[in-house]
Structure 1
Amino acid sequence: MTHPLPTLPLPPNRPRRVAFAGTPNDAVPALGSLAEAGFDIPVVVTGAPRRRSRRGHDTPSPVAAAAEQRGLSISHDPADLAACDADCAVVVAYGRLIGADLLSQVPMLNLHFSLLPRWRGAAPVERALLAGDEVTGVCLMALEETLDTGPVYWRHEVPISSTDTAASLRSRLSHEGAERLVTSLNDGLGTAEPQQGEPTYARKLSRADREIDWSQPATHIDRQIRVGGAWTMLNGQRFIVRGGTPLSLTHDAPPGTLQSDAVVTGHGIVRLNVVQPAGRPAAEAQAWLNGARLPSGTRFG
């Protein structure tokens, strides 16, 4: 026997006291826009400080740093979202699931970087780019216990250009989403509508997702490169391609073969722009090629 999910509290149409939860850089524009628009932000809940490098010190999350600059109260306990007597909480890339007990205590809105129900989950921007989507967007939805299933207040479409990287696309989505978040809170949220359509899921990219298969078309490999961290093997060592240009030129050589400053693929070639050999910093591909003096015909992969 199935039991219906409990009815969750709804935010007021124009909330003014707004708690915030978020952690990475992608969430900073929303926090900044809320503060600059004059909303009362009683608490900012964010991930705990963490060490960014092996020899470094624990550093606050980007959201914590932004909140500190604005003199806002910072917490690492999500229970504080309900304890601060807010009209609602806005959640942007917080990085932790919020349980039903907390959702039942305070209305929560989630700014999500996709056109729901397409790309529910942890890596919607990377998955949209890797799939070759021509458009993505940002949604404001009511947060539910189940993953990204809540009803949607609004959707804003954003085209994906042929030169967009995951970083540039996330930046555009986060800034345009932040602007529309504030507008909707000021003008009135209206009524959220159930999601329509077949859902797809955006699981985090694995190392295997980023491995270049040179038998794939150059356009597919280009998308892997623009997502970030695309890698292959060269002389038994991992080799990262940070930037490249897909070209429709064809060669008789097998996929993965180096031809001058480009690598042959299953359809077309990828000209190398920025590369990172194992144990070395990223470098312009031509400078690296001049130093490496690899013979034409060297195989990657």
Structure 2
Amino acid sequence: MRLAFMGSPDFAVPALRALHAAGHEIAAVYCQPPRPAGRGQKEQPCPVHRAALALGLEVRTPARLKRDAAEHAAFAALGLEVAVVAAYGLILPPAMLEAPRIGCLNIHASLLPRWRGAAPIQAAILAGDAESGVTIMRMEEGLDTGPMLLREAVPLGPRMTTPALHDALAEIGARLILRALAEQPPQVPQPEDGVTYAPKLSKADGKLDWSLPAPALDARVRALNPWPGTFFQHQGEAIRLLEAEPAEGAGPPGTMLDAAGLVACGTGALRLKRLQRPGRGPLAVGDFLRGFPLPPGSVLG
């Protein structure tokens, strides 16, 4: 099938590789433009860009699409049967949604209509959902509102993290999009009830509020690492908390209860397990505390 692939982050790479391996004719790959990254702030292509080049595919990186008639015409000129979209990062205008014969199919990392929006993986973990999954949907102008073609669920264990769920859903999405193209299943409208939204995350979302219950803070650590990351303030430094778990304990929220990294929360306590100071590498809590003591009675911000 002649198609365009539109995606940017690691989540989209397995789908691109699966489509290529299955013999689909990928006329062009659209992804976000290269952006400055690393200490030298040198422009770096996104993961899909790198994967597409390795496969010898044409890559297009428009900075915008909404009012760019030339981009709309160039997309239409590809003569596509379908476009496959996976975490592309730009909103497709009607002219592009309508250009492929079959339409634009989106690989969405949730069981729609739950968690429409930009951060469905993190939202499912934050909310303590029992399951997540992937939905293949036909795109329309609304935010993740289009009819569904396929869905597959995956259970969320009590210690699920965003990296683990991300990788599992990326592989499911790659498998489901191949099925969707091969089988072309009937389109089913999304239910009108049960709609929730997962807004785009920012660095401010990672600031830990010790007045929350320990299970909620634990979920936040598991959901928001590696990005935007969870952190607390102490002695003028923003300390990243990379791993933790709920534990028994009580005291004023944010107070260190022992010398081994137990912090009082609004309800219960959180055992710190892996931390990182600015400009330093991650350390297990014992190694971290030898270089940056947090004695009992210390109050974390």
TM-score by length of 2: 0.89
Q: Does 1:293 align with 2:293?
A: yes
- Write out per-residue CA displacement over residues 115-163 of structure 1, whole angstroms, 9 at most, x where no aligned residue: 1111111111111111111111110000111111100011111111222
Alpha-carbon distance between aligned partners in 2 of 1:58 and 1:293, rounded to the nearest angstrom: 38
Tell me which residue corresponds to 1:138.
134
Pairing 1:86-125 to 2, within 5 Å after superposition: 86-106=80-100, 107-125=103-121
CA separation in 2, counterparts of 1:70 and 1:101? Answer: 28
**Which of 35, 54, 59 matches 1:69?**
54
Q: Does 1:172 pair with 2:168?
A: yes
Output the CA distance in 2 between the equivalents of 1:234 and 1:244.
17
Structure 2 counterpart SS, 1:41: strand
1:192 is aligned to 2:187: yes
- Name stretches of at least 5 consecutive residues in structure 2 with no aligned partner: 63-70
Which residue identity is paired with 1:82? A
Q: Secondary structure at the match of 2:270?
A: strand
Match of 2:67 in 1: none
Q: What is the match of residue 275 of structure 1?
A: 275
Q: What displacement does 1:213 show?
A: 1.4
Paired residues of 2:136 and 2:180 also in contact (CA < 8 A): no
Deviations 1:186-229 (A, max 9, x none): 2x122111100231111012334322111211111011111221
After the TM superposition, list the runs of 4 or more consecutive aligned residues in structure 1 that deviate by more than 6 angstroms.
none
Cα offsets for 1:172-199 (capped at 9, x unmatched): 101111112112322x122111100231
Aligned partners of 1:53, 1:279: CA distance in 2, in Å?
Answer: 12
Question: Structure 1 residues 293 and 211 mapped into 2: Cα distance closer, same or farther (>3 Å)?
Answer: closer
> 1:232 aligns to what SS in structure 2?
strand
Counterpart AA for 2:181 = L
Q: Secondary structure at the match of 2:25?
A: coil
Distance 1:52 1:222 in 2: 29
Do residues 21 (structure 1) and 39 (structure 2) align? no
SS at match of 1:148: coil
In structure 2, distance between residues paired with 1:17 and 1:132: 40
Partner of 1:5: none
Preserved CA contact (<8 Å) 2:242 2:276:
yes
2:233–2:239: 8 Å Cα contact kept in structure 1?
A: yes
Quote the offset at 1:56 in angstroms. Answer: 3.4
* Alpha-carbon distance in structure 2 between the residues aligned to 1:244 and 1:42: 46
Q: Give the distance between the partners of 1:173 and 1:103, measured in 2 at CA.
A: 24
AA at the equivalent of 2:269: I
Q: Distance in 1 between matches of 2:231 and 2:59?
A: 38
Give structure 1 stretches of 5+ with no counterpart: 1-15
| SS of structure 2 residue aligned to 1:42 | strand
Does the 8 A contact of 2:10 with 2:48 survive in 1?
yes
Q: Provide closer, same or farther for how the CA distance between residues 175 and 285 of structure 1 changes in structure 2, counting only shifts above 3 A.
A: same
Name the structure 1 match of 2:68: none
